[in-house]
Amino acid sequence: MNKNIDTKKIIISNPLKLDCGKVINNFPIAYETYGELNSEKSNAILVFHALTGDQYVSGKNPITNKDGWWSYTVGENKPIDTKKFFVICANVIGGCMGSYGPSTISESTGKQIGTDFPIITINDMVNAQYELIKCLEIEKLFAVVGGSMGGMQVLQFVANFPDKAKLAIPIACTSSHSAQNIAFNELGRQAIMADSKWENGFYSNYKLNPDKGLAVARMAAHITYLSEKGLQEKFGRKLQDRDSLKYGFEADFQIESYLRYQGSVFVDRFDANSYLYITRAMDYFDLSKQYKGNLSDAFKKTKTKFFVISFTSDWLYPTSENREIVIALNSIGADVGFVEIESDKGHDSFLLDVPSFLKTLGDYINSTYKIINERRI
């Protein structure tokens, strides 16, 4: 991992009490912004990233040299147009792109914190990012937007700060992690921890990296982001650079080669301990439990407008789970719109070029921005 590239960072001096009971202070939050904040400070959109995302939403990611993870959605003349909106995205705490996480160097030991890092939750991530918004002196965001784990952060943000966003768009997410979600995350964690180079999380002390374990974790997770139909159409039983089976364990099939590739590029940009901590945070997420089993209570104090989006072929965060959010909001008369977008690209649909998603999202954000601004005048 190239850690030498300058990332925009802010040191949060306010102490933050984590759900696990520990208090952190003077910790870094790495972030990136796009576009300009207008003079009324009314055009700010906070984007939350998913499990393996980072602050580089759009443009070139300076670390990977690839396009930002949400380039289809955010950028100039994109659905979230950075000529119009001021887009902020922060690396979550627990992450490995400059925010306080297990790969942060401890001042006292001069070594990476490793698994001495405290367990963090979605709630902690959101509270940390709220500190960033305060530092940027933005009183009220126009919108909070995110997919997958980003969507969970959207829900938590509105629950925690009911009057800090006018619009909330949780995409392809859930209000509580299901047994299936936890199971897949556990599979990934076990793959990492089974790698002998993991060294109980202190691999950096030995100049090691549990790359094999992390790659397997990524391969397994990657399958859950796709759909059966998508996989079948793209790969089928097609062979990789060969005309016939080789009767061995090399990557005979294209799908094998593809997954191996996905695993191998992932370990270059992601920290294994971060993977453990962030998946744990997702597993612990249960917003209704935070409100004594009543999800509606999470949103009782808010006037924020909601727009919930799901995808037909997403079996990781299926429409039924997104609908539960809509039902909870409807039952308290909240202002909520909902659509399930037709796509065979699985959970990953929100990251990809899915025209009806991009159009609906963009049109909705732009017309709502117009309506809200007109009302204020």
Partner 1 sequence: MKEEFNIISNLIEENTRVLDVGCGNGDLMKFLQENKTKDIRGLEISKEKVQNCLSKGLTVIEGNAESDLKQFPKSSFDYVILSQTLQAFLNPELVINELLKVGKKVIVTIPNFGYWRVRLQLLFKGTMPVTENLPHEWYNTPNLHMCTIKDFYNFCSTKNIKIFKSIALKKSRISEINKSNLNYKNLDSHLGIFLIES
The residues annotated with a catalytic role in the active site are 148, 314, 347
DSSP string, 100-128: SSTTSBPTTTSSB-GGGSPP--HHHHHHH
Q: Which is nearer to partner 1, 161 or 311 (CB)?
A: 311
| 336 beta partners | 306
Q: Please report how close the Cβ of residue 199 comes to partner 1 at its closest, in angstroms.
A: 49
Q: Which is nearer to partner 1, 109 or 294 (CB)?
A: 294
Please tell me the distance from the alpha carbon of residue 339 to that of residue 358, in angstroms, as a whole number.
13
Q: Which is nearer to partner 1, 256 or 340 (CB)?
A: 340
Please tell me the distance from the alpha carbon of residue 94 to that of residue 97, in angstroms, as a whole number.
9
Q: Which is nearer to partner 1, 57 or 365 (CB)?
A: 365
DSSP string, 193-237: HHSGGGGGGTGGGGT---HHHHHHHHHHHHHHTS-HHHHHHHTTT
Q: Please report how close the Cβ of residue 128 comes to partner 1 at its closest, in angstroms.
A: 31
Please tell me the distance from the alpha carbon of residue 370 to that of residue 373, in angstroms, as a whole number.
5
Q: Please report how close the Cβ of residue 39 comes to partner 1 at its closest, in angstroms.
A: 24
Q: Which is nearer to partner 1, 194 or 371 (CB)?
A: 371
Which chain residues interact with partner 1 by CB under 8 A?
Answer: 305, 307, 326-327, 330-333, 335-342, 356, 359-360, 363-364, 367-368, 370-371, 375
Q: Please report how close the Cβ of residue 373 comes to partner 1 at its closest, in angstroms.
A: 11
Please tell me the distance from the alpha carbon of residue 187 to that of residue 200, in angstroms, as a whole number.
17
- Rounded to 10 degrees, the C-alpha dihedral 139/142/147/152 comes to 40
Q: Please report how close the Cβ of residue 304 comes to partner 1 at its closest, in angstroms.
A: 12
